[in-house]
């Protein structure tokens, strides 16, 4: 396979060995309408030693963090998930070349939408860390629904994490960080348990009184980060050269494993089908309300901070690697 990213060199993602595509996964069965577990896979079995701790990087881009961190932790299995095929295969090709030298047997790269994958394919309680670095900021209000961090996503991350497992987040983007904080606040107080149950995830043990499904903590730099780096991804390096500042945080799972109930899956499936056919879902969900709150916040920030004729940054220039 050859993409522009290979600079004329053929990229070889070593399909079935390093690279994984949706085509290799069984189709989602209709049964997920009544049984959210019906589409679960066992992604740990994609690795040479499935018994190792399992970590996921969402939006691994060219795979810089994945490669560097996995080299230092051969006793951890890393699944990089990237929905842009050319980047996924670029990352997989990097891994393949190291495999040829007997390294990185602990890395796979999956080309798919990570949020759907986590939601429908990953069994509860099996992931030690979800890494989310420099996620696309989708700055326009009408695109906020495309941001990876959503209440539903946090519910699914809680479900798939092992007890004490972590979601680690780094971004350069002030508005995205404010959005993340707004969401994290709901999930670090008792309201988070209600949200979880609303999504059909029933905790076996809700943690100490007054706590939420997560506690927020400080971000510890991974071993692979350079001396002056937070995490050491491609985007961090690019933004650092441009003199940008960064935000980083960790959500740690409180409480026990999760049981999925049917109701939420049925409702969502109905909504997704309605959306596919262009119909409006019957009621505005809480997410819609949150987006409006987000819009008001962004607008007031723009009014306060930006001169009248200043342009706001566009998503496009940021999403290109």
Residues found near ligand SAM in the complex (CB under 6 A): 58-61, 81-84, 87, 113-115, 133-136, 148, 233-236, 319
Q: What is the smallest separation between the CB atom of 312 and ligand SAM, expressed in angstroms?
A: 17
Measured from each CB, the residue nearest to ligand SAM is 59
Q: What is the smallest separation between the CB atom of 147 and ligand SAM, expressed in angstroms?
A: 9
Q: What is the smallest separation between the CB atom of 87 and ligand SAM, expressed in angstroms?
A: 5
Nearer to ligand SAM, 80 or 255 (CB): 80
So which residues are the catalytic ones?
A: 136
> Closest Cα partner for 50 from 22, 77, 74?
77
Q: What is the smallest separation between the CB atom of 64 and ligand SAM, expressed in angstroms?
A: 6
CA distances from 198 to 42, 171, 204, 264, 268 (A): 26, 29, 15, 7, 11
**Positions of E strands within the chain:** 19-21, 54-58, 77-81, 107-111, 127-133, 161-171, 201-203, 214-217, 247-253, 258-260
CB 261 within 8 A of CB 33: no
**Tokens of residue 28, six digits:** 């989602």
Nearer to ligand SAM, 65 or 193 (CB): 65
Query: Which string of DSSP letters, residue by residue, matches 239-264?
Result: HHHTT---EEEEEEE-S--EEE-HHH
Nearer to ligand SAM, 69 or 188 (CB): 69
DSSP tag of 118: H
Give residue for tokens 């998503």.
315
């Amino acid at each position: 396979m050859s993409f522009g990213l290979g600079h004329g060199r053929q990229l070889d993602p070593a399909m079935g060995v390093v690279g994984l595509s949706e085509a290799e996964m069984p189709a989602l069965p209709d049964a997920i309408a009544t049984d959210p577990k019906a589409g679960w896979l066992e992604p740990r079995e994609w690795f040479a030693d499935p018994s190792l701790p399992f970590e996921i990087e969402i939006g691994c881009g060219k795979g810089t963090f994945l490669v560097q961190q996995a080299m230092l932790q051969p006793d951890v299995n890393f699944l990089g998930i990237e929905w842009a095929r050319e980047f996924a295969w670029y990352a997989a090709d990097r891994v393949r070349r190291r495999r040829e030298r007997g390294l990185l047997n602990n890395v796979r790269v999956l080309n798919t939408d990570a949020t759907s994958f986590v939601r429908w394919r990953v069994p509860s309680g099996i992931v030690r860390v979800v890494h989310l670095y420099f996620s696309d900021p989708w700055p326009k209000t009408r695109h906020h629904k495309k941001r990876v961090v959503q209440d539903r996503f946090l519910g699914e991350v809680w479900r798939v994490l092992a007890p004490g497992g972590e979601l680690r987040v780094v971004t350069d983007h002030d508005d995205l960080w404010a959005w993340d904080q707004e969401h994290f606040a709901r999930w670090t107080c008792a309201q988070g348990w209600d949200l979880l149950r609303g999504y059909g995830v029933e905790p076996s043990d809700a943690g100490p009184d007054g706590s939420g499904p997560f506690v927020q903590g400080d971000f510890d730099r991974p071993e692979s980060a350079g001396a002056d780096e937070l995490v050491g991804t491609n985007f961090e390096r690019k933004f650092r050269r441009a003199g940008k500042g960064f935000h980083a945080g960790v959500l740690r799972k409180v409480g026990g494993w999760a049981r999925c109930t049917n109701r939420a899956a049925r409702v969502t499936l109905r909504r997704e089908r309605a959306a596919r056919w262009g119909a409006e879902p019957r009621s505005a969900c809480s997410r819609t309300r949150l987006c409006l709150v987000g819009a008001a916040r962004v607008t007031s920030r723009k009014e306060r901070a930006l001169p009248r004729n200043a342009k706001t940054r566009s998503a496009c220039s940021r999403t290109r690697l």
